[in-house]
Amino acid sequence: MTSFADARKALQRGETDCETLVSSFLARIRERNPSLNAFISVDEADALAQARRLDRSPDVDLPLKGLALAVKDVICMKGRRVTCSSRMLEQFESLYDATAIERLRAAGAIFVGKTNCDEFAMGSSNETSYFGPVRNPANAEYVPGGSSGGSAAAVAAGLCHAALGTDTGGSIRQPAAHCGVAGLKPTYGRVSRNGLVAFASSFDCMGPIGQSVEDCALLLNHMAGRDERDSTSASARVPDYAQALTGDVRGVRIGLPKEYFADGLDDGIRSMIEECVRGLEREGAIVREVSLPRTEYGVAAYYILTTAEASSNLARYDGIRYGHRAAPGELRGALRSEQAAVSGANGESAGERLDAESMLREFYTASRTEGFGDEVKRRIMLGAYVLSSGYYEAYYAKGQQARTLIRNDFDAVFEEVDALVTPATPAPPFRLGSRVDDPMAMYLGDVYTVPANLAGVPGLVVPLGLHPAPPRLPIGMQILGPHFGEETILRIGDMAERLQR
């Protein structure tokens, strides 16, 4: 499989053109997508038109010219559906391009389609999508990971050069690990969230998934940076991330947090990481054990805080302002009752008004019941509960305190080391269907990825090859860095890739 960096060289030498590249990806999508279910929508004619436009202007040497890019279907592209893999938004068309899309388009990227994911990015296996599960390209009986499973599977199966994912608690890194590709969750605020449908706004990050660390760096170059349309976007300088891949890790201080290598970690994964770390040490990295003592509170704090934010963010989908509407008959009834409720202010009896309100409530309930799947409903209920008066202090406020402590852990450890190397997941990919009825087991699988989102620090996953035990599925390793430490973790990840070549 060629990386974009290699395709770019071929393009520059005139050995191929954008149309040829895109046509071959479209052919592969036609062939493999029916079984993988990685894409929700592909607009072939539009992708080819974008490619031809770029081919017709050969003197414009755009940095990402010819990059065939897939986009997770929670990111807005003007005039395209953005479903969030939910029945709620099945027919919803986006009115504008996300900032990252605008920037990547201007840099020469070609958008081939929108990828499947867990519904509203809630999940770790890509089984909560209204459009059905995505399958792992390495073995169709296994999950590709989630929630950006379609994006990771599309890259792993060679259906595009790279893909955009989003990561609220691991959704770029975990599917990258399960599919055997590279994936970067940038520092919170490094990439604008404008045009990304919100799940948990203080956690959500958009980032690249690619065949190589270099491809992730090239994409980040054109995604990062301050955006007036996202007040939480950072104005920190955007370096050339590809320049950071020097192949030199001499003197880089790497910490192995002992809490990430404790009981519960699969032995095969542990030994693959240890082997890679020994390689980095041979290249001159300085490795030592460190501690992040509050790691054990990560999953609990994450599921309290993100469900709280989700319950608020998803309140807008009520069938009237946005989203799926319950059957037209009920809608007419509800609208009539809304009018009645308004006119009720002018003399209607209290009883009639109550009746009108309850009909409207029924309509909201019907629209939301039909529009959302089980996992989304579970999170809305959990979030409403932890925010409710009486429980707020016990859950939400405590969760915020735990978040601060976890962030302090990272701040302290990055005084001692430049980066952390950890597993991405406690276990290899699991069988489709094996955890769908056990949300706790699913949530606990996020133990190594959620702390980075709680703290806002960047995390990169690099593939390490295949697990030693059958069915020999892909395994990834996570590299975490301090805020805006993307260059360091990309350099280490690139080195880890070189060691495997």
Q: Does 123 bind ligand GLN (CB under 6 A)?
A: yes
Of the candidates 86, 94, 125, 147, the residue annotated as catalytic is 147
**According to CB under 6 A, which residues from 29 to 88 bind ligand GLN?**
none
- Residue appearing with tokens 């296994």: 142
- In the annotation, is 171 catalytic? yes
Total interface residues for ligand GLN by CB under 6 A: 14
Q: Does 171 bind ligand GLN (CB under 6 A)?
A: yes
Least separation in angstroms between CB 376 and ligand GLN: 11
Least separation in angstroms between CB 468 and ligand GLN: 26
Residue environment code for 299-324, b if the CB has 16+ CB neighbours within 10 A, otherwise e = bebbbbbbbbbbbbbbeebbbbeebb
Helical (H) or strand (E) element with 72: strand 68-72
Q: What is the largest CA-CA distance in the chain?
A: 83
Least separation in angstroms between CB 445 and ligand GLN: 8
Q: Which is nearer to ligand GLN, 99 or 168 (CB)?
A: 168
**According to CB under 6 A, which residues from 184 to 243 bind ligand GLN?**
199
Q: Which is nearer to ligand GLN, 183 or 344 (CB)?
A: 183
- Sheet containing 286-290: order of strands: 39-42, 110-115, 68-72, 162-167, 205-210, 182-185, 459-466, 474-480, 419-423, 253-257, 286-290
Q: Does 169 bind ligand GLN (CB under 6 A)?
A: yes
Q: Could you write out the DSSP letters of every residue in 97-117?
A: --HHHHHHHHTT-EEEEEE--
Least separation in angstroms between CB 183 and ligand GLN: 11
Q: Which is nearer to ligand GLN, 26 or 191 (CB)?
A: 191
Q: Does 147 bind ligand GLN (CB under 6 A)?
A: yes
Of the candidates 72, 86, 129, 192, the residue annotated as catalytic is 72
Side-chain-facing half-sphere of 77: CA atoms under 13 Å = 25
> CB under 6 A: which stretch of 25-33, 86-94, 167-175, 242-250 binds ligand GLN?
167-175
Q: Which is nearer to ligand GLN, 50 or 124 (CB)?
A: 124
d(CA 181, CA 346): 63
Residue 67's nearest CA partner among 120, 4, 6 is 4
Ranked by CB distance to ligand GLN, the top (closest) residue is: 171
Query: 136 CB contacts (<8 Å, ≥6 apart)?
Result: 142, 143, 144, 145, 153, 178, 179, 429, 473
Helical (H) or strand (E) element with 254: strand 253-257
- In the annotation, is 72 catalytic? yes
**According to CB under 6 A, which residues from 354 to 413 bind ligand GLN?**
none
Least separation in angstroms between CB 193 and ligand GLN: 13
d(CA 134, CA 156): 12
**According to CB under 6 A, which residues from 272 to 311 bind ligand GLN?**
306
Of the candidates 171, 212, 233, 311, the residue annotated as catalytic is 171
**In the numeric block, which tokens belong to residue 217?**
């760096």
DSSP state of 241: G
Q: Which is nearer to ligand GLN, 129 or 147 (CB)?
A: 147
HEC secondary structure over 132-152: CCCCECCECCECCCCCCHHHH
Q: Does 122 bind ligand GLN (CB under 6 A)?
A: yes
- In the annotation, is 151 catalytic? no
Q: Which is nearer to ligand GLN, 50 or 168 (CB)?
A: 168
Q: Which of 108, 113, 137, 170 binds ligand GLN (CB under 6 A)?
A: 170
Radius of gyration of the chain from Cα atoms? Answer: 23
Least separation in angstroms between CB 169 and ligand GLN: 3
Q: Which is nearer to ligand GLN, 151 or 212 (CB)?
A: 151
CB atoms within 10 A of CB 246: 11
**In the numeric block, which tokens belong to residue 68?**
């065939």
Q: Does 115 bind ligand GLN (CB under 6 A)?
A: no
Least separation in angstroms between CB 73 and ligand GLN: 13
Least separation in angstroms between CB 280 and ligand GLN: 27
Q: Does 167 bind ligand GLN (CB under 6 A)?
A: yes
> Do 145 and 128 form a contact (C-beta atoms < 8 A)?
no
Q: Does 446 bind ligand GLN (CB under 6 A)?
A: yes
Cite the DSSP H helix spans in 417-468: 439-444, 450-455
> CB under 6 A: which stretch of 33-41, 49-57, 164-172, 289-297 binds ligand GLN?
164-172
Q: Which of 85, 124, 151, 425 binds ligand GLN (CB under 6 A)?
A: 124
Footprint on this chain of ligand GLN (rule: CB under 6 A): 121-124, 147, 166-171, 199, 306, 446
Q: Could you give the residue numbers annotated as active site?
A: 72, 147, 171
